[in-house]
Amino acid sequence: MRRILFVDDEPCILDGLRRLLHRERGEWELLSAASGSAALEEMARGPVDVVLTDMRMPGMDGAALLEQVAQRYPDTIRLVLSGQTDTAAASRAILVAHQFLTKPCAAMEIRTVIDRACALRDLLRSPGLRRIVGGMESLPSAPTVWIALRRALGDEGASVSQISVIIEQDAGLGAKVLQLVNSSFFGQAREISSIAHATTLLGTGTIRALALAEQFFGSGLSPGRGCSLEEERNHALAVARLARHILPGQPAGEAAFTAGLLHDVGKLILAARLPQPFLDDLGEARLRGLPLHRVELSRTNVCHAEVGAYLLGLWGLPHEVVEAVAHHHAPDRVAGGDRRALVAVHVADALVHGISDGPGAIDQRLDSVSVAELGWTGQLPEWQEWASAQQEVDS
Amino acid sequence: MDRSRAGLSLEQAVAEGLGSPSRESPLAADRLASAILDQTPDTVFAKDLVGRYIYINRAGAAACGLSRDAVLGQRDHDLFPREVADSLVAFDRATLAVGGEEIYEESVSINGAMTEHLVTKTPFRDSDGQIIGLIGLVKDITGRKRPEGLGRTDTDRLTDIIELQQAVGTAVMEPSAFMQLIVQRTRDLMGANGAAILLRDGEDLVIRAAAGTTVMGLGLRVPIDRSLVGACFRSNQAVQCDDVQNDPRVRLAACELFQVRSAVVVPLRDGLTTIGVLEAIADVPGFFGESARQTMLLVGGLLSAALARSTAFEANRRLLDERTTTLAALFGSEERLRSAMDAAQIGVWDWDVVGGRITWLGHHEAICGLAPGSFDGRYETFLACVHPEDRPGMEAALTSALASNSEYSHSHRVVWPDGSVHWVLGRGEFRRDPEGHTIRMYGAIMDITDRRVLEHQLLQAQKIEAMGQLAAGIAHEINTPTQYVGDNLHFLQEAFEGLLRVMVVYGDVVEAARAVGVPVAAADAAWKSADGGYLLAEIPRATVQALDGIERVTKIVRAMKEFSHPGGTEAIPVDLNHAIENTIAVSRNEWKYLADMVLELSPDLPPVPCLAGEIQQVILNLIVNAAHAIGDVVAESGGRGTIRISTTVVEGFVEVRVRDSGTGIPLEVRSRVFDPFFTTKDVGRGTGQGLALARDAIVRKHRGSLTFESEVGAGTCFLIRLPLHAPDQPGAES
Residue of A nearest to B565 (CA): A86
Render B598-664 in DSSP notation, one character per residue: EEEE-TTPPPEEE-HHHHHHHHHHHHHHHHHHHHHHHHHH-S-EEEEEEEEEETTEEEEEEEE-S--
pLDDT value at A345 more than 90: yes
Say what the pLDDT of residue A189 is.
54
pLDDT digits (tens, 9 = 90+) for B45-83: 888 888 888 888 888 888 777 888 888 888 888 888 777
Say what the pLDDT of residue B269 is.
77
Nearest Cβ partner of B479 from A104, A159, A165? Answer: A104
Which chain A residues are closer than 8 Å to B213 by Cβ?
154
Say what the pLDDT of residue B177 is.
66
What whole-number distance in Å separates Cα of residue B218 and Cα of residue A209?
8
Say what the pLDDT of residue A215 is.
60
Distance of residue B490 Cα from the nearest chain A Cα, in angstroms? 6
Least-confidence region, from A67-71, B177-181, B208-212, B725-729: B725-729
Confidence of residue A208 (pLDDT cuts 50, 70, 90): confident
Say what the pLDDT of residue A207 is.
80
Which chain B residues are closer than 8 Å to A205 by Cβ?
218-219, 568-570
Is the CB of residue B218 less than 8 Å away from at least one CB of chain A?
yes
Say what the pLDDT of residue A349 is.
95
Say what the pLDDT of residue B6 is.
38
Is the CB of residue B486 less than 8 Å away from at least one CB of chain A?
yes
Say what the pLDDT of residue A214 is.
57
A20 and B482 within 8 Å at the Cβ level: the answer is no
Say what the pLDDT of residue B114 is.
61
pLDDT value at A51 more than 90: yes
Which chain B residues are closer than 8 Å to A216 by Cβ?
none
A159 and B568 within 8 Å at the Cβ level: the answer is no
Least-confidence region, from A376-390, B363-377, B568-582: B568-582
Residue type, B211: A
Is the CB of residue B565 less than 8 Å away from at least one CB of chain A?
yes
Mean pLDDT for the stretch of residues B335-339: 61
Which chain B residues are closer than 8 Å to A88 by Cβ?
221
Nearest Cβ partner of B488 from A16, A102, A206? Answer: A16
Least-confidence region, from A11-25, A177-191, A227-241, B639-653: A177-191
Q: Which of A302-311, B217-226, B473-482 has the highest mean pLDDT?
A: A302-311
Say what the pLDDT of residue A149 is.
84
Instruction: Between A238 and B158, name the one with better pLDDT.
Output: A238
pLDDT value at B312 more than 50: no
Confidence of residue A160 (pLDDT cuts 50, 70, 90): confident
Say what the pLDDT of residue B305 is.
64
Nearest Cβ partner of B480 from A13, A106, A196? Answer: A13
**What percentage of residues in chain B have a pLDDT greater than 90?**
19
* Selected residue of B180, B465, B484, B560 to mutate for chain A interface (largest A Cβ count, 10 A): B484
Confidence of residue B171 (pLDDT cuts 50, 70, 90): very low
Confidence of residue A138 (pLDDT cuts 50, 70, 90): confident
pLDDT digits (tens, 9 = 90+) for B261-286: 899 999 887 666 788 899 999 888 88
Say what the pLDDT of residue B250 is.
81
pLDDT value at A393 more than 50: yes
Which chain A residues are closer than 8 Å to B567 by Cβ?
203
Mean pLDDT for the stretch of residues B184-212: 84
Confidence of residue B706 (pLDDT cuts 50, 70, 90): very high
Confidence of residue B148 (pLDDT cuts 50, 70, 90): very low
HEC secondary structure over chain A:
CEEEEEECCCHHHHHHHHHHCHHHCCCEEEEEECCHHHHHHHHHHCCCCEEEECCCCCCCCHHHHHHHHHHHCCCCEEEEEECCCCHHHHHHHHHHCCEEEECCCCHHHHHHHHHHHHHHHHHCCCHHHHHHHHCCCCCCCCHHHHHHHHHHHHCCCCCHHHHHHHHCCCHHHHHHHHHHHCCHHHCCCCCCCCHHHHHHHHHHHHHHHHHHCCCCCCCCCCCCCCCCHHHHHHHHHHHHHHHHHHCCCCHHHHHHHHHHHHCCHHHHHHHHHCHHHHHHHHHHHHHHCCCHHHHHHHHHCCCHHHHHHHHHHHCCCCHHHHHHHHCCCCHHHCCCCCCHHHHHHHHHHHHHHHHHHCCHHHHHHCCHHHHHHCCCHHHHHHHHHHHHHHHHHHC
Least-confidence region, from A159-173, B166-180, B287-301: B166-180
Say what the pLDDT of residue A302 is.
87
Is the CB of residue B47 less than 8 Å away from at least one CB of chain A?
no
Nearest Cβ partner of B491 from A20, A83, A200? Answer: A20
Q: What is the pTM of this model?
A: 0.56
Say what the pLDDT of residue B321 is.
59
Which chain B residues are closer than 8 Å to A196 by Cβ?
733
Output the CA–CA distances (angstroms, integers) from residue B714 to A225, B625, B642, in the order listed.
77, 15, 11
Say what the pLDDT of residue B2 is.
42
Confidence of residue B170 (pLDDT cuts 50, 70, 90): very low
Mean pLDDT for the stretch of residues B651-680: 84
Is the CB of residue A203 less than 8 Å away from at least one CB of chain B?
yes
Q: Which of B27-31, B392-396, B427-431, B456-460 has the highest mean pLDDT?
A: B392-396
pLDDT value at B10 more than 60: no
Contact residues, A window 23-42, toward B, CB-based 8 Å cutoff: 23
Instruction: Between A376 and B575, name the one with better pLDDT.
Output: A376
Confidence of residue B123 (pLDDT cuts 50, 70, 90): confident
Helix (H, G, I), strand (E, B) or coil at B461: helix
Say what the pLDDT of residue B614 is.
84
Which chain A residues are closer than 8 Å to B193 by Cβ?
none
Instruction: Between B452 and A236, name the one with better pLDDT.
Output: A236
pLDDT digits (tens, 9 = 90+) for B598-657: 999 998 888 888 888 888 889 988 998 899 889 888 877 778 899 999 999 998 899 999
Least-confidence region, from B75-89, B121-135, B333-347, B404-418: B333-347
Nearest Cβ partner of A23 from B257, B494, B570? Answer: B494
Mean pLDDT for the stretch of residues B222-244: 86
User: For chains A and B, what is the number of CB pairs under 8 angstroms?
Assistant: 116
Say what the pLDDT of residue B313 is.
43
Say what the pLDDT of residue B546 is.
94
A13 and B484 within 8 Å at the Cβ level: the answer is yes
pLDDT value at B1 more than 60: no
Instruction: Between B337 and B550, name the one with better pLDDT.
Output: B550
pLDDT digits (tens, 9 = 90+) for B347-381: 888 888 888 889 888 788 889 999 888 899 899 99
Say what the pLDDT of residue A238 is.
92
Is the CB of residue A17 less than 8 Å away from at least one CB of chain B?
yes
Helix (H, G, I), strand (E, B) or coil at B132: strand
A17 and B219 within 8 Å at the Cβ level: the answer is no
pLDDT value at B146 more than 50: no
Is the CB of residue B295 less than 8 Å away from at least one CB of chain A?
no
Is the CB of residue B491 less than 8 Å away from at least one CB of chain A?
yes
pLDDT value at B193 more than 50: yes
**What percentage of residues in chain B have a pLDDT greater than 70?**
77
Give chain B's mean pLDDT.
78
Distance of residue A89 Cα from the nearest chain B Cα, in angstroms? 12
**What percentage of residues in chain A have a pLDDT greater than 90?**
32
Which chain B residues are closer than 8 Å to A23 by Cβ?
494
Mean pLDDT for the stretch of residues A363-386: 92
Residue B255 — φ and ψ, nearest 5°? -60, -40
Mean pLDDT for the stretch of residues B504-533: 92
Mean pLDDT for the stretch of residues A288-312: 90
pLDDT digits (tens, 9 = 90+) for B466-494: 777 777 777 878 888 999 999 999 999 99
pLDDT digits (tens, 9 = 90+) for B448-466: 888 777 777 777 777 777 7
What whole-number distance in Å separates Cα of residue B31 and Cα of residue A198?
53
Least-confidence region, from A26-35, B127-136, B138-147, B186-195: B138-147
B561 and A85 within 8 Å at the Cβ level: the answer is yes
Which chain B residues are closer than 8 Å to A149 by Cβ?
none
A153 and B733 within 8 Å at the Cβ level: the answer is no
Q: Which of B232, B228, B224 is nearest to B245 (CA)?
A: B228
List for chain B the helix, strand, coil content (%; round to 5).
50, 25, 25
pLDDT value at B26 more than 50: no
Mean pLDDT for the stretch of residues A171-189: 75
Nearest Cβ partner of A203 from B475, B494, B572? Answer: B572
What whole-number distance in Å separates Cα of residue B649 and Cα of residue B656?
9
Say what the pLDDT of residue A264 is.
92
Residue of A nearest to B482 (CA): A104
Instruction: Between B1 and B218, name the one with better pLDDT.
Output: B218
pLDDT value at B25 more than 60: no
